[in-house]
Chain A
Amino acid sequence: MASLVGSRVERKEDKRFLTGKGRYTSDINLANQTYAIFVRSPHARAQIKKLDISKAQKSSGVVSILTGSEIAEDKIGGLIAGWAIRSEDGTEMKCPANPPLAKDIVNFVGDPVAVVIAESLEEAKVAAEKVSVDYKVLKAVTSTADAMDGDTIHEGIDKNLCFDWLLGDRQKVKEAFEKADKVISIDIINNRLIPNAMEPRACLADYNSASEEITLYTTSQNPHLSRLIMSAFGNVSPEHKLRVVAPDVGGGFGSKINVYNEDIVCSWAAKKINRAIKWVAERSESFLTDIHGRDHVTHAELAVTNDGKFLGFKNETIANLGAYARVFGTVTPTYLFGPCATGVYEIPAAYSNVKAVFTNTAPVDAYRGAGRPEATYTIERLVEKASMELGIDKTELRMKNFPTAFPFKQTLVHTVDSGDYVAGMEKAKQMADYNGYEARRKDSESRGKLRGIGVSSYFEACGIAPSAAVMSLGCGVGLWESAEVRFNPTGQVTVYTGSHSHGQSHQTTFAQIAADELGVPIENIDIVHGDTDKGTFGMGTYGSRSLTVGGIAIVNACKKIVEKGKRVTAKMLEASPEDVEFKDGEFIVAKSNKKKTIGEIAFACYLPGVRDEMKSPLPEGEEPGLKETAFFDPSNFSFPAGTHIAEVEIDPETGEVKLEKYTACDDFGRIINPMIVEGQVHGGLAQGIGQALYENAEYDETGQLMTGSYMDYTMPRADNFPEFNIGYTCTHATTNPLGVKGCGEAGAIAAPPTVMNAVIDALGGQEITMPATAEKVWKACKNLKKSNSKAA
């Protein structure tokens, strides 16, 4: 049987999605359900003086209106940060309470203050407009850079500072900088983004008063984790009386990791009113209340020798957490960011210092890449600048500082098990025709255009994550994953996974793995996920962890099945288990022609009545059934890496930037399905290029979101991109049996500095901030013209 791992198996999920047979949360309707509309704060920061629901209560169709007071009375818990960060001075981080419905004070536009539940959506909307809230508007804090000088948003949190965190050794860095020939320094902004999943958030909470069970259908990337949080911290219901189902989910990019206010409120309220409650976000609500991403202000420095050796690195960052600290809000700008900021380089001394601040904006949390795009942007913009200032070719300078031996002990935290950065760079250069660039530049010039080329090499720590390591760094949970593999008596297989697919094609990739491990045709393998009542526990999908952690749990459970199969075969064929080999779905007794198929073994394991064979096929002490569970806790993160190269052409008259060429050469370890990986790379690149050229979440000084719809928030479209030139190098991860590293976030991590380096190259080295909009580039072109004419 040919191996399926490594082949472009067509996606099992396509038929469902492409023929409209997907089943998303908002497709689900329950008899007698009600509809919720949330009343949200129109102000970024205000005291609630009075909240009057009397008029709204009389509105037609209203079932119930609940506010922050009832939430508090029922002792329903608030939303939490999942990771405790300690400041450099040893103090614990300071986080405000984040009640699901605000009672006394609101902290961002969109913060919910009440929920209106009615018989129909229209009635809920009409009634919601009649809820009258008397606000005393306070001065909002919205700027990341100035947040520490603003009014105190949360009582007791001085300077709006959640923590002031340090990773690395300041003294060593100081010494390294003293030895430097040159210090390259840079001030950059990592622009704030809105995740924009295609499916807006939604939930449907149902309560059964007889079983006292709440069922919550919700758009989550991690239903088990959501249940755990709602139960342990939200006090919504004991865990065994709460079922969380995340059916088909249309994209997450990190924005659906969090348990949100609406999940808690609808679950709690469903029990209170003893009816099902449905809520579906409007797109405007998504813009305002989904977690946002990035939003860093960074000053970084690189100490170098004249011949281009890196000696030391400093990273001083202010990270905006938004109004509240959420699940991965505090780890994203620290452990997911700080260690990776030294990039793919050997730098003897380094530190990352991050001040995380609260502002009156939507909470900021993990968004595709989470911390690693910010890290890569910092180091790769800095290295590109170093190449300009030192006059050393950008690829040479990078290669000069690449590690050549693996495992590579990276400066701050990670030990990278495997990689070959030089090979990646060389292949990328060849794919991009790096050496032919000058001719293309001249051609652009002859047409009055400016051309630039940008390079970025990245590595990232994903496959999140070894539990012991993350718990020692403050994580509230272990980040293992589990799987259950279950044979039916007639030989088909159901694989239950704790990973969750919201666009990652697990149904196909995971089935390919199981098919290879078990020798069962892929058509006979079903992947089940997304329901806390079905199968095993799980921590969900983010941080490129599904394959590297969840996939390995599947492999390990399959291996247990095979082991049991060997024991059963041995008994049935009267051989010793050590002499049974398993290959392509068959158990074969060595040096004989005796064998059993895995289907026969599954059948035997379920002990069918066999009249003429009185003895059991199972060895003594062996339990019936063929079903195994495995929990996998990785021994290390995984470390995809690569080099990307971009070329842009700029029209100096309008400032329009055209991305002419984009080359991505990545090392994801072993690739299970190249077609699916390409899709992941394309999506990541689109988001990364979007950050560099188009996307930007902008608040005005009063805290109103200026980019609250697609009329103003620029989502990139297909015609913004060239054909992507994608290739791979491959070094296998040594820390898991498949040798896989993860591919979901790479594009979003590598693309922003690659594109910006190209834009800035075209602009003669002038710094501009992301996104490189036409007007900003136009201004820079005017400066260039001025300085050129001065020079002439």
Chain B
Amino acid sequence: MKDFNYHSAKDSKEASKLSSSNSAFLAGGMTTIPSMKLGLASYKDLIDIKNIKKLSGIKVSGKSVTIGATTKHVEVANSKEVKKAIPSLANLAEGIGDPQVRNRGTIGGSVANNDPSADYPSACIALNATIHTNDRKIEASKFFKGMFETALKKGELIEAIEFQIPEKSSYQKHPNPASRYAVVGVYVAKHKKDINVAVTGAKPCVYNDRDLSKALSNSFSSSSIQNMELDSSEMNSDIHASAEYRASLVVTQAKKAVDAC
């Protein structure tokens, strides 16, 4: 790991001000630190945002659940309020990585990082989330731009993520047995007005599968997507899973999710 300067910001404003083209925010460090240790990334400045009190915590209203950016996965997994309002979201958090990762990693870090096989981005899409930054509010559907790419501007800080409470929802992940990241994860959420089938792991970036959601809009049951076959040409392929296998898993996991709703 190369030398770097460590800063601890006291509020969002300071964090944003300290950032440069050669800096990163340090939330849980579960992505940033390993990449630095492996020499995949190096920064001049790391700006610790964990001491910004305002960024952490869970608030539930009638319509939505708002989770502060530095809230750890374990806190979401164990939160009584989240379990009551959106059980599938607590369930998702419970299934991230391992206990060490869940006790350090944060929701803001996960969403900002937008790893193609991360879990939370699918929740954002499925639950019509709004990403609150120090500058604006961004709809989830406009936030995830591509592999490790988001709508965030340099120095822009996620402060909280607001999830819409659905009527029913379920997240079903087929984990990579080594890393436990999603090979494919499917988040099905049935809202009053729409049905989202958010898919992570299958393509370079999380997406809402329109074919599946359309089929489910006609009839919300797993039999309505039972025999669907998806085009695998844009799907990821690596030593853990071919594109063809991923395409099949999307349907299988979607069925499981609908059955679990």
Chain A positions near chain B (C-beta within 8 angstroms): 122, 284, 653-656, 694, 698, 706-707, 710-715, 720, 773-775, 778-779
Contact = CB atoms under 8 A, between A and B. Distances in A.
B179 A710 contact: yes
28 contacts: A122-B3, A284-B38, A653-B248, A653-B255, A654-B249, A655-B245, A656-B174, A694-B177, A694-B178, A706-B239, A707-B239, A710-B178, A710-B179, A711-B178, A711-B179, A711-B181, A712-B178, A712-B239, A712-B240, A713-B178, A714-B177, A715-B178, A720-B177, A773-B177, A774-B177, A775-B240, A775-B242, A779-B245
B152 interface: no
A778 B245 contact: yes
A698 B248 contact: no
B241 A653 contact: no
Max count, chain B CB within 10 A of own CB: residue among A707, A712, A775, A779: A775
B170 interface: no
B252 interface: yes
B222 to A, nearest CB: 11
Contacts of A707: 239
Nearest to B179: A711
Interface in B184-243: 239-242
A712 B238 CA distance: 10
Contacts of B181: 711
A712 B179 contact: yes
B239 A778 contact: no
A653 B179 CA distance: 22
B42 to A, nearest CB: 12
Contact of A775 (B3, B179, B241, B255): B241
A656 B253 CA distance: 12
A707 B181 CA distance: 15
Given A778-B245, A778-B248, A698 B178 contact: no
B239 A653 contact: no
A714 B241 CA distance: 14
B235 to A, nearest CB: 13
A763 to B, nearest CB: 16
Nearest to A652: B252
Contacts of A706: 239
Nearest to A716: B177
A714 B245 CA distance: 19
Contact of B239 (A122, A698, A720): A698
A698 B239 CA distance: 9
B178 A714 contact: yes
A284 B242 CA distance: 25
A122 B4 CA distance: 13
> Could you tell me the dominant secondary structure of chain B's interface residues?
loop
B239 A654 contact: no
Given A655-B245, A710-B178, 20 more contacts: A122-B3, A653-B248, A653-B255, A654-B174, A654-B249, A694-B177, A710-B179, A711-B179, A711-B181, A712-B179, A712-B239, A712-B240, A713-B178, A714-B177, A714-B178, A720-B177, A773-B177, A774-B174, A778-B245, A779-B245
Interface residues of B, number: 16
A643 to B, nearest CB: 28
A773 B240 CA distance: 8
A62 B179 CA distance: 37
Nearest to A710: B178
B146 to A, nearest CB: 21
A122 B240 CA distance: 35
A698 B240 CA distance: 11
Interface in B38-72: 38
Contacts of B242: 775
B50 to A, nearest CB: 25
Contacts of A714: 177-178
Contacts of A694: 177-178
Q: Which 9 A-B pairs have the closest CB atoms?
A: A714-B178, A711-B179, A775-B245, A714-B177, A653-B252, A706-B239, A712-B178, A654-B252, A775-B241
A122 B1 CA distance: 8
A122 B249 CA distance: 45
Contacts of B248: 653, 778
Max count, chain A CB within 10 A of own CB: residue among B38, B174, B240, B255: B240
Contacts of B245: 655, 774-775, 778-779
Nearest to B181: A711
Contacts of A720: 177
A774 B178 CA distance: 12
B115 to A, nearest CB: 11
Contacts of B255: 653
Max count, chain A CB within 10 A of own CB: residue among B38, B248, B255: B248
A707 to B, nearest CB: 7
Contacts of A713: 178
A711 B180 CA distance: 8
B242 to A, nearest CB: 7
Contacts of A711: 178-179, 181
Nearest to A125: B1
B111 to A, nearest CB: 20
A656 B245 CA distance: 12
Interface string B103-131: 00000000000000000000000000000
A425 B179 CA distance: 38
A276 B181 CA distance: 42
Nearest to B239: A706
B137 to A, nearest CB: 34
A775 B252 CA distance: 13
Contacts of B177: 694, 714, 720, 773-774
Contacts of A779: 245
A531 to B, nearest CB: 34
A778 B244 CA distance: 11
Nearest to B241: A775
A427 to B, nearest CB: 33
Nearest to B252: A653
A137 to B, nearest CB: 21
A687 B111 CA distance: 36
A705 to B, nearest CB: 11
A710 B179 CA distance: 7
A198 to B, nearest CB: 15
Max count, chain B CB within 10 A of own CB: residue among A706, A707, A712, A774: A774
A284 B178 CA distance: 15
Nearest to B2: A126
Nearest to A711: B179
B66 to A, nearest CB: 32
Max count, chain B CB within 10 A of own CB: residue among A656, A712, A713: A712
A656 B248 CA distance: 13
A714 B239 CA distance: 12
B171 to A, nearest CB: 15
A48 to B, nearest CB: 22
B229 to A, nearest CB: 12
Contacts of A284: 38
Interface in B111-167: none
Contacts of B178: 694, 710-715
Nearest to B242: A775
A711 B239 CA distance: 11
Contacts of B179: 710-712
Contacts of B252: 653-654
